[in-house]
Amino acid sequence: MTVRSQFFHADEGDAVAVENETGKSRVLLVCEHASKTLPARYGDLGLAEDVLSSHIAWDPGALAVARLLSEKLDAALVFQRFSRLIYDCNRPPESASAMPVASEIYNIPGNADLDEAERFLRTAALYVPFHEAVSSLVEKRKILGIESVIVTIHSFTPVYHGRVREVEIGILHDRDSRLADAMLADREAASFKVERNEPYGPEDGVTHTLRLHALPEGLLNVMIEVRNDLIADEAGQRAAADYLGESLERALASIGD
């Protein structure tokens, strides 16, 4: 009996999903905020339905774009099956936003005053297995001779704290900007408004997954943010995935690594 088996109801499954695991591409897609599903034990966290469907619970459209990219590139995809409201897998346990008590303009009643036991449960059931899955896939591929390129897929809200965001696609990086630089090199020709480290950047603590899986090993990496109003339907998701897939392929070819 593991903590995970105590944490999840029998029919809820596990924290992590891996799709196209044997995909041939060097690209390894990661989607930390793929789902708005709450584990049954948490009820509604004291939040209204519209809030539970909003960007504070997940990155709307991100999983759909990631799946289209997975197909287009023949790339493996790892995603979290539960909401960032319970544990934000792009944050370490010591971060206040790993189990947020507030997000944008909303308080999250079910996250107030979490005790050490509850923090342990969430860390053990959601965070550790997620990054173990990524880490183990990177390692397996390495043994097969594939040096992974870590690409994380996110979406952001067009209006944040009342401010409209003009940027449409953000290409984010931490201290290793090789892949981001190459993707940004031809952005003038893009049909999207593409910016570097927008609408936020590494100084906001958003590059945890890159820091865990890419930087220590020197793997090429990038974090991609798409404005979620552009990927609310399949046509938009396809347009974004087409642009990103071609941009990634051109960038990797230009690096010639």
Catalog residues that contact its own copies under the rule CB under 8 A. Answer: 1-3, 6, 92-94, 115-120, 123-124, 128, 131-132, 135-136, 139-140, 208, 211-213, 215-216
**Nearest-angstrom CA–CA distance, 62 and 73:** 16
**Nearest-approach distance from CB 196 to its own copies, in angstroms:** 22
Contact 226, 169 (CB under 8 A): yes
Q: Which residue has the tokens 């943010």?
A: 225
Nearer to its own copies, 101 or 215 (CB): 215
Q: How far is the CB of 242 from its own copies (least distance, A)?
A: 33
Nearer to its own copies, 119 or 193 (CB): 119
- Alpha carbons 101 and 110: distance in angstroms, whole number: 8
Phi (first) and psi of residue 149, to 5 degrees: -110, 115
- The distance from CA 196 to its chain's CA centroid, rounded to whole angstroms, is 17
Rounded least distance, CB 93 to its own copies, Å? 4
Q: Minimum Å distance from CB 240 to its own copies?
A: 29
CB of 107 to its own copies, least distance (A): 21
Taking the least distance from each CB to its own copies, the nearer of 55 and 208 is: 208
Shortest spacing between CB 18 and its own copies, in angstroms:
13
Considering the complex, what minimum distance in angstroms separates the CB of residue 94 from its own copies? 4
Smaller CB separation from its own copies, 67 or 122: 122
Q: What would the two tokens of residue 74 be?
A: 């023949």
In this structure, which amino acid lies at residue 157? Answer: T
Judge residue 223's burial from the number of C-beta atoms within 10 Å of its C-beta, 0-12 exposed, 13-18 middle, 19 or more buried. buried
Q: Are the C-beta atoms of 156 and 55 separated by less than 8 Å? A: yes
Q: Smaller CB distance to its own copies: residue 53 or 136?
A: 136
Of the two residues 6 and 53, which places its CB atom closer to its own copies in the complex?
6
What is the phi-psi region of residue 195: left when phi exceeds 0, alpha when psi lies from -120 to 50, beta otherwise?
A: beta
The residue written with tokens 């599903």 in the block is 37
Q: What is the DSSP letter of 165?
A: P
Query: Would you call 227 exposed, middle or buried from its count of C-beta atoms within 10 A (0-12, 13-18, 19+)?
Result: buried
Q: In this complex, which beta carbon is closest to its own copies, that of residue 81 or of residue 208?
A: 208
Single-letter amino acid, residue 166: E
